[in-house]
Amino acid sequence: MAAVTCKDLCKTFSQGGERVIGLERVTLEVEEGEFLCLSGPSGSGKTTLLNTIGGLDTPDSGSITVAGQCIDRFSREQLANLRLHNIGFVFQAYNLIPVLSARENVEFVMQLQGRGLATRRALAMTILEEVGLAGLEDRRPAQLSGGQQQRVAVARAIASDPVLVLADEPTANLDSRNSSQLMELFAELNRRRSATFVIATHDKRVMDFCHRRISLQDGRIVNAESRAAGSA
Amino acid sequence: MTFLNNLKRSGAICGLAWRNLWRNPQRTWLTVGAMIFSNVLLVAMITLQLGMYDTMIETSLKTMSGHLQVQKKGYQDEPRMRDGFAGVARLSRELRRELGLKTISARAEGFGLASSAERSIGIRIMGVEPEAEPRVSSLPGMLGEGRWLKGMEAEEIVLGASLARNLKVSVGDVVTFLGTARDGSMAAAVVTVVGILETGIGDVDRSLAQLPLGYFQTVFGMPDQAHRLVIQLTALDQVEPARQLLRETLAQRPELAVLDWDALQPGLRQGIEADFVSAWFLYGILILLVSLSVLNTQLMSVLERTREFGVMLALGMAPGRLARLIMLESVCMVLLGLALGVLGGGLVAACLAHWGFSVPGMEEAMARFNLPGRIYPPLSLPGLMIGPLALCAGAVLASAYPALRLYWLRPLAAMRSR
């Protein structure tokens, strides 16, 4: 079953009075449990496609189905609910909530889901241990390194047990060692949790970790390339 | 389960709201401080104002009208000599027994022409019970010269100070007055001036003459009749129960009406209401300023955290819940200001209630009316809560705008903001 299905997605932006193509007739199917990356130069449409799949942006035309739900006519509240229960986000700039500790950041999504304190606390601790942050759970984001913050962001993304994890340039602010560790973590989580990963990147090392690579240019898919799992 | 989940979510949002409030403690305390100051000010001013109104009413009621009066129906609107009611002595006794009060006194009223050796002036003549009147009116205590009336049938009179001056009479002089009796015949009498009233109330000093009720009844041909039974109570909140009791007692006398102080002095309540409204104009400005301060704080706070709110939306927080988060932050701030403000204001009000309040010069003026010169405004729930609750409402309303901004926030645009 497909985790994500995009059909003929089109999106244009107005930039400085000029019409810029974000996506042009993008059709894509991502299978459940897939570990896929969207590659391409800046402005190729990777982030736009990722945001559109995540319901953060709406296409001008075309259709999107996420976790079996067609989201074309979803209200803002419905889209929020879809993200809360089915999608985990990892951003380039980590985007952790500064007043919350690492554990509370991970708990935040579970709180929104209405899970009880004991459950979410235990789960947050397990996940933080899983991403290698045991002992750092009470630190605020400002007290963590970039790599540690991104691990908290990953823990937060998988805390809601999502069907789909969308990561936008997750290694852009990390050094090569932290980048490799993060990708290994992604790959492991993909294997262990069977979550579908869609990663937008132009980092060659990240691409090497993925099972399938979709190349975009000027809003169009120009190449799709499959690799054997774990070939990196 | 849905309710339980909602409760858990609300608890989480409350915790987050409280923590957000203390991200910038200086700013939060500045806003809360403004609220505390305003609440203390509002509580003290409104308590004082309500106390002042109570004193105004008591002063006014003690001077003449009393809290309640029994009259013949229609007399209040169109007072006529022939509209007296009979059996006054018995009715007074009965009401004193039923109400358990001694502060009930009968009055009869008429108009006439008073003449001294040198002048004649139109006067308002009032027949009063010499013994009972001091219990319902402060006028007998405002004698500038001479003494109060003695005996129901004594042929003596007490005049207002200006009236005595205009007639060129003083204590011990004789005054003749002419009037129309109840049956239309001429009423005439010669009386001795025994006292001069100095009330400071122009109308009273200029035209009022008081003589014993028994003598008045004889001269004006209305035996055992009066126009008013004046009842003085100890507090305003006794008016309604006393009125009910009077109505039941007077059920057999349908020609009589029971009027409360509001009906007797409609201008008094109107004056108080007008004063209350004008005072609220000032309070409104204060509330507006504090509300704008809350709006400013919350707007700054929202603008500073736009990116973070974008992340929350992206993570799956519903726009409505995000708007509630900022409203909750305001509510937390407002409740803190309310609690500390009411506490501080309550302390100030308690001090006022205990030690009293007086304006320099006021004590002398009040003493002229046989009233205490210091106001002791009682600590009351309306005094404590009206102002702070209005301030709360204003402040929460002010935070609706930043909350609305958040409701319409787009996650992507918010995350791109710096």
Pairing assessment for the beta strands B85-86 and B104-115 based on DSSP bridges: unpaired
Partner-chain residue, chosen from B19, B315, B412, that has the shortest CB–CB distance to A99: B19
On whether the CB atoms of residues B128 and B105 are closer than 8 A, the answer is: yes
Burial class of residue B19 (count of CB atoms within 10 Å of its CB; 0-12, 13-18, 19+) = middle
**Per-residue pLDDT averaged across B227-237, rounded?**
90
Q: pLDDT at position A230, please?
A: 47
Alpha carbon B274 to chain centroid, angstroms: 11
A residues 35-64 near B, CB within 8 Å? 51, 54, 56-57
* B312 Cβ neighbours under 8 A, 6+ residues apart: A97, B322
Q: Do B316 and A109 touch (CB under 8 A)?
A: yes
The values of phi and psi at residue B107, to 5°, are -140, 150
In Å, how far are A7, A42, A60, A207 from A217, measured between CA atoms?
17, 9, 18, 16
| pLDDT greater than 80 at residue B304 | yes
Instruction: Say yes or no for a CB contact (<8 Å) between B308 and A108.
Output: no
Interface membership of A160 toward B (CB under 8 Å): yes
- At B4 the pLDDT is 57
| Residue labelled with tokens 């909602």 | B6
The structure tokens listed for A166 are: 């969308």
Confidence (pTM): 0.71
Q: For position B104, what pLDDT does the model report?
A: 93
Q: What is the mean pLDDT of residues A197-206?
A: 90
Mind listing the pLDDT tens digit for each residue in B71-107? Answer: 999 999 999 988 999 999 999 999 898 888 889 999 9
Whole-number Cα distances in Å, B60 to B56, B125, B131, B142: 6, 20, 21, 14
Helix or strand run (H / E) with residue B348: helix B319-355
Among candidates A77, A97, A98 on the partner chain, residue whose Cβ is nearest the Cβ of B320 = A77
- The amino acid present at B49, given as its one-letter code, is Q
- Give chain B positions within 8 Å (CB) of A83: 314-316
Residue B413 touches partner A, C-beta closer than 8 Å: no
What proportion of chain B, given as a percentage, has pLDDT over 70? 94
- Closest chain A C-alpha to B334 CA, distance in angstroms: 21
- Tell me if B50 sits within 8 A of B377, measured CB to CB: yes
Between chains, do B415 and A95 touch, taking CB under 8 Å as contact?
yes
Check residues A128 and A176 and name the one with the higher pLDDT: A128
Per-residue pLDDT band for B369 (boundaries 50, 70, 90) equals: low
Contacts of B321 in chain A (CB under 8 A): 112
What are the structure tokens assigned to B283, written together? 């309070």
Question: What is the predicted pLDDT for the residue at B65?
Answer: 87
Helix A102-113 / helix B2-21 crossing angle, nearest 10 deg: 140
pLDDT of residue B409: 92
Q: What is the pLDDT of residue B232?
A: 92
Q: What is the pLDDT of residue A63?
A: 95
Positive or negative torsion for Cα B199, B204, B209, B213: negative
pLDDT at B296 over 50: yes
By the CB < 8 Å criterion, does A232 face chain B?
A: no
Q: At residue B278, what is the residue type?
A: S
Q: Per the CB < 8 Å rule, is A81 touching B318?
A: yes
Q: Which residue has the tokens 């990777």?
A: A46
Q: Given CB atoms, is B23 within the 8 Å cutoff of chain A?
A: yes
**B366 vs B415: which has the higher pLDDT:** B415
CA dist B249 and B38 (Å) reads 49
pLDDT at B306 over 60: yes
Query: Tokens 């001013």 sit at which residue?
Result: B45
In angstroms, the CA B156 to CA B152 distance is: 10
- With an 8 Å Cβ cutoff, are B315 and A85 in contact? no
Asked whether the predicted pLDDT for residue A191 surpasses 60, the reply is yes
Nearest CA of chain B to the CA of A126: how many Å? 20
CA angle B10, B12, B14 (to 5 degrees): 70
Q: What is the pLDDT of residue B276?
A: 87
| Pick from A129-133, A217-221, B339-343: least confident | A129-133
Q: What is the pLDDT of residues B249-259, one digit of tens each?
A: 888 889 999 99
**Given an 8 Å threshold on Cβ–Cβ distance, is B318 in contact with A77?**
yes
CA distance B300 to chain A (A): 17
pLDDT range class, residue B163, cuts 50, 70, 90: very high
Cβ of A83 within 8 Å of Cβ of B315? The answer is yes
Q: Is B307 helix (H, G, I), strand (E, B) or coil?
A: helix
A117–chain B nearest CA distance, Å: 9
High-pLDDT (> 90) share of chain B, %: 48
Say whether pLDDT at B218 is over 90: yes
Is the pLDDT at B211 greater than 60? The verdict is yes
Instruction: Residue B415: list chain A partners with CB under 8 A.
Output: 91, 95
Q: At what angle do helices A102-113 and A117-130 cross, to 10 degrees?
A: 130
More reliable by pLDDT, B217 or A192: B217
Q: How confident is the model at residue A161 (pLDDT cuts 50, 70, 90)?
A: confident
What is the DSSP track for chain A? -EEEEEEEEEEEEEETTEEEEEEEEEEEEEETT-EEEEE-STTSSHHHHHHHHTTSS--SEEEEEETTEE-TT--HHHHHHHHHHHEEEE-TT----TTS-HHHHHHHHHHHHT--HHHHHHHHHHHHHHTT-TT-TT--GGGS-HHHHHHHHHHHHHHT--SEEEEESTTTTS-HHHHHHHHHHHHHHHHHH--EEEEEE--HHHHHH-SEEEEEETTEEEEEEE--TT--
What's the CA gap between B336 and B94, in Å, rounded?
56
- Chain B closest-CA separation from residue A230 CA (Å): 29
**Model confidence at B268: pLDDT above 80:** yes
Tell me the three state secondary structure of residue B333.
helix
B299 pLDDT more than 60: yes
Residue B222 and residue B83 in contact, taking contact as beta carbons nearer than 8 Å = no
Cβ <8 Å between A114 and B311:
no
Q: Does A84 touch chain B (CB under 8 A)?
A: yes
**Buried-exposed string B180-213: b where 16+ CB fall within 10 A, e elsewhere:** bbbeeeebebebebbbbbbbebeebbbbbbbbbb
- Give which of A173, A191, A176 is closest to A230, Cα–Cα: A191
All residues at 6 or more sequence positions from B216 whose CB lies less than 8 Å from its CB, including other chains? B108, B110, B125, B126, B127
The arithmetic mean of pLDDT across residues B283-308, rounded, is: 89
A35-48 mean pLDDT: 92
A196/A190 Cα distance (integer angstroms): 7
Q: Among the listed ranges B53-62, B95-104, B129-138, which one has the minimum average pLDDT value? A: B53-62
Per-residue confidence band for B148, with pLDDT thresholds at 50, 70 and 90: very high
Burial of A224 (0-12, 13-18, 19+ CB in 10 A): exposed
- Give the one of A56, A77, A83 whose C-beta lies nearest to B412's C-beta: A56
Residue A231: pLDDT over 50: no
Chain B residues in contact with A81 (beta carbon < 8 A): 316, 318
Query: Quick one: average pLDDT of B245-268?
Result: 89
pLDDT of B157 higher than 90: yes
Q: Which of B4, B308, B311, B321 to mutate to test the interface with A (most CBs of A within 10 A)?
A: B311
Min Cα distance B391 → chain A (Å) is 29
- Pairing between β-strand A196-201 and β-strand B186-197 as defined by DSSP bridges: unpaired
Give the bridge partners for B159, in sequence order.
B196, B209
Residue B382, class by beta-carbon neighbours within 10 Å (0-12 exposed, 13-18 middle, 19+ buried)? exposed
- Of residues B401 and A225, the one with the higher pLDDT is B401
- Which is higher by pLDDT, B380 or A228? B380
Q: What is the DSSP string of B369-405?
A: TT--SSB-PPP-HHHHHHHHHHHHHHHHHHTHHHHHH
Q: Does position A198 have pLDDT exceeding 90, yes or no?
A: yes
Residues 6+ apart with CB under 8 A from A25: A8, A9, A10, A62, A220
Do the beta carbons of residue B91 and residue B274 sit within 8 Å?
no
Q: Chain B closest CA to A188's CA: distance in Å?
A: 22
Rounded to whole angstroms, the Cα distance separating A141 from A152 reads 9
Contact state of B308 with A97 under an 8 Å Cβ cutoff: yes
Amino acid at B188: A
Residue A121 in contact with partner chain B when CB distance is under 8 A: no
* Among candidates B9, B16, B411 on the partner chain, residue whose Cβ is nearest the Cβ of A114: B9
Residue B208 to residue B119: CA distance in whole angstroms: 16
Site of tokens 């022409």: B113
User: Residue B117 pLDDT more than 70?
Assistant: yes
Which range scores top for mean pLDDT: A216-230, B88-102, B162-176? Answer: B162-176
Write down the mean pLDDT value for chain B. 88
* B11: nearest CA partner in chain A: A111
Choose the closest CB to A95 out of B311, B317, B321: B311
**pLDDT recorded at residue B368:** 59
